[in-house]
Structure 1
Amino acid sequence: MTASSDTTILIWNLKGEVLASINTNQMNNAYAAVSPCGRFVASCGFTPDVKVWEVCFGKSGDFREVTRAFELKGHTAGIYSFSFSNDSRRMATVSKDGTWKFWDTDVEYKKQQDPYLLLTGRCEVAEPCRIALSPDAHVVAISCGTTIAVFNTRRGEEEERFVGVHGQHIADLAFDTTSRYLVSCGDRAIRVFHNTPGYRAVVEEMETMLRKTTTKATRERLEQQISSAKKALAAICGRKQ
C-alpha cells in the first residue's frame, strides 16, 4: 500500500502491479497503514475520522476487491494517526482535539455495525504526533515532539513519560510483536524502551482472572504466570521481588 498527500491510496501486489485505487475523500491523507493481519487498510487526514477498508481475496488467493469496512467517528478535529492491535480487534487514535481514543473494532461491519468507543483520554498534541497501540492492546504510546507518554487502556492513566528522547521530533513509534518493547525513531537514532506499563497491565489482568477462577488447575497456572511477570518487571526496574 502507498498513500499520497492528496486523497489517493494505491493497493499493490508483490509484482508491483496496482490492484486498486482508493479515494479517501479526506481532503488530504495525513497517515495511512495496513493492519498487522493484512486484512485492512486505513487512513486519516483533515476530517475528524479514520476510514477503514477491507482488502478481499478469493479462496485461491486472488485479489477480488476493496470494500468499505467501517469508520471511527468521535473526535472533533483532524486525526494525526491511528494504530491497530495485532488481531485488529482494537484500534487507537490521536487527534488535534487533544484526546486519544481506544476503540472496539471487533464488530459485524458487513451488517452495518459500528465500532464501540471504549475510552477517551487527554494528551499533549503537536505536529508531528504519533500513536502506537501494543499488539495485546494493553498499552498506548503517544509521541509529541521529542516526548513519549505511555498510557494503560484499562483506565486511560498515564504511567510513563520519556522526555527529550530524541534531539529532533520523533518520526514514528512501534511496539515489537511480543508487546515487551517500545521503539521510537528520529534524528538518525532508534531508541528501545521496556514496556513496563504492559507488564503491569498483564499482571493486573491475570490477578482479576485469578479472583474469578474456581478451578485449582487454572488458579495454579495463573499464580505461576503472575509470579513470572512480577519477576520480569522487578528485573527491569532493578528491584528484588
Structure 2
Amino acid sequence: MTKKEDGTFAYVGGPEDFPKQHKAPVINIGVADTGKFIMTASSDTTILIWDLKGEVLASINTNQMNNAFAAVSPCGRFVASCGFTPDVKVWEVCFSKSGDFREVARAFELKGHTAGVYSFSFSNDSRRMATVSKDSTWKLWDTDVEYKKQQDPYLLLTGKCDVAEPCRIALSPDARALAISCSTSIFVYNTREGKEEERFENVHGEHITDLAFDVNSRFLVSCGDRAIRVFHNTAGYRAVVEEMKVLLKKATNESTKQRLQQQITDAQNSLESIYSKSK
C-alpha cells in the first residue's frame, strides 16, 4: 500500500519471483483466504506450502503416482489433492495462535471411488466436498467430522456421469448443486437426489479448463477458450424451493414460517425472471 498526496491509499502490485523448487510442471496454485500461505502442486507427487515471501514452509508427497488436481479450501485451513489413485487426500495447514506456521498434518481421505479421481470441490464452509472420477460417478461427502479423533467423512450421495479428461467439478457454496465439465460441455446436478437438471453442450470452442460458482450460489462460471461463460444456477434455486417447502411443513413458529415462505417466494421469482428472459 502506498499513500498518495491527497492522503488516500493505493495498492501497487509488484512481481515477485519465487525460487524454482518443483521438478515437474506446476498444475495448480492456490492462495489461502486467510492470507497465511500459498499452495503449489506439480504434476509429479509434490505439493509445496509457501509463505507470501517465497519461503517454503512444507513439502507434501501425495503418494498418488501423479497429481491431477489440487486446491486450497475456501476456509483456508485445508489443502487437498487427487490423482491416479481412487481417493482424495486432505491435509490441514496448522498455525499457532500468534500466526506462526506449525505443521501440515493429515486430516482425512475421501475413499469410495474405484478409479482415479479427476477433480474435487469444497463447499464454502468446507463441510461438504464433491468428487468426480474415471469410474463414471460423482460423489457428495459430509466432511464435517472430527478427523482429529480419526472420524472418517460420510458418503452422502453417488451420481452417474459419463465423463473423460479434461474434467472439472464445482460444488456450489451452499452445496445444493454441483456442475461437471467434460471437454466443451457442462452438466448440472442437484445434490438432494443426484438428478441431472441442466446440460449445456459445446459452450466453448476448446476444452473447459475451470469451473466455479459465485459466492452466493447464483451463477456458474466456466472458462476454456478466450471466453468466460456465465450461467444462472437454476438447479440451486429449485433446490432452495424444495428444501424450504420441507422445512415449512415442519415449522411451528410463525416467524419461522414467514421467513421460509419468503425464501421460497424469492427463489421462485428468480426462476420466473430467468425463464421469462430466455423466451
- The aligned residue for residue 262 of structure 2 is 224
- The aligned residue for residue 100 of structure 1 is 138
Mapped to 1, the partners of 2:202 and 2:59 lie a distance apart of 40
Cα shift readout 1:15-36 (whole Å, capped 9, x = no counterpart) = 1111110000001000000000
- The aligned residue for residue 111 of structure 1 is 149
From 90, 94, 111, give the equivalent of 1:52: 90
Mapped to 2, the partners of 1:129 and 1:220 lie a distance apart of 42
Structure 1 segments (4+ residues) deviating >3 Å: none
Cα shift readout 1:75-118 (whole Å, capped 9, x = no counterpart) = 00000000000000000000000000000000000000000000
1:157 aligns with 2:195: yes
TM-score w.r.t. structure 1 length?
0.98
Query: What letter is aligned with 1:164?
Result: N
Q: Structure 1, unaligned stretches of length 5 or more?
A: none
From 143, 159, 167, give the equivalent of 2:181: 143
- The aligned residue for residue 38 of structure 1 is 76
Aligned positions, number: 239
1:193 aligns with 2:231: yes
Query: What letter is aligned with 2:134?
Result: K
Mapped to 2, the partners of 1:66 and 1:60 lie a distance apart of 17
Query: What letter is aligned with 2:137?
Result: T
Query: What letter is aligned with 2:272?
Result: A
Cα shift readout 1:109-158 (whole Å, capped 9, x = no counterpart) = 00000000000000021110100000000001000111100000000000
From 91, 108, 116, give the equivalent of 1:70: 108
1:24 aligns with 2:66: no
1:87 aligns with 2:125: yes
| Matched position secondary structure for 1:223 | helix
Q: CA RMSD in A?
A: 0.8
Q: Structure 2, unaligned stretches of length 5 or more?
A: 1-38
Mapped to 2, the partners of 1:38 and 1:16 lie a distance apart of 18
Mapped to 1, the partners of 2:258 and 2:68 lie a distance apart of 48
- The aligned residue for residue 29 of structure 2 is none
Query: Which gives a bigger RCO, structure 1 or 2 (Cα 8 Å, sep 6+)?
Result: 1
From 158, 163, 176, give the equivalent of 1:120: 158
Mapped to 2, the partners of 1:186 and 1:106 lie a distance apart of 33
Query: What letter is aligned with 1:73?
Result: K
Cα shift readout 1:177-197 (whole Å, capped 9, x = no counterpart) = 010000000111110000000
